[in-house]
Amino acid sequence: MIVLKRTLLQNESVFQTFQRLMKEPLPIKAAYKMKRYADKLQSEQKEMENFFTECRRKHLVFNEDGTVKMTEESGKPMPEVKDREELNKKLEDFMGGSFTIEGVHKLASFELGEVRISAEELTVLEPFIQDLDLIS
């Protein structure tokens, strides 16, 4: 089981890294795990989009033409919110949470074979690889 912070889904390089590695010839076990990881990340991203859509629908004020009503706050145009405290609490709770990838273990570094990755990609993959501390 892998537990990940939901804020990870806001990092575009996560999806770019997985898209690139999904195109690499990997050993079957690593390819299977990468696909399961990518599927779960996409599923969680869809859940996050649905959450934001629901928050928008429930908490924002709309004009008659369906556009979001804007207001001035601290000299900046901001969407008008019905109950900002409630919305902020929902957003904090949701984004502060985590999600799990069940039924598939972390990759062992040797499972990636000879695939070359950048330091940035390694940072993205770190939660998915079990033995990075053994690499020297």
Assess if residue 91 is contained within a domain. no
pLDDT digits (tens, 9 = 90+) for 48-91: 999 999 999 999 999 999 899 998 877 788 899 999 899 999 99
DSSP 8-class letter at 66: S
Q: State the residue range of the domain holding 108.
A: 2-59+99-134
Q: pTM of the entire structure? A: 0.78
> Distance between CA 136 and CA 133 in Å, rounded?
8
Would residue 73 count as lying in a domain? no
Domains identified in the chain, total number: 1
Q: Where do we find the tokens 């089981």?
A: 1
The reply to whether 79 falls in a domain is: no
Q: For residue 9, is it within any domain?
A: yes
Q: What is the mean pLDDT of residues 1-17?
A: 87
Helices (H), 8-133: 12-22, 28-59, 84-95, 119-125
pLDDT recorded at residue 78: 86
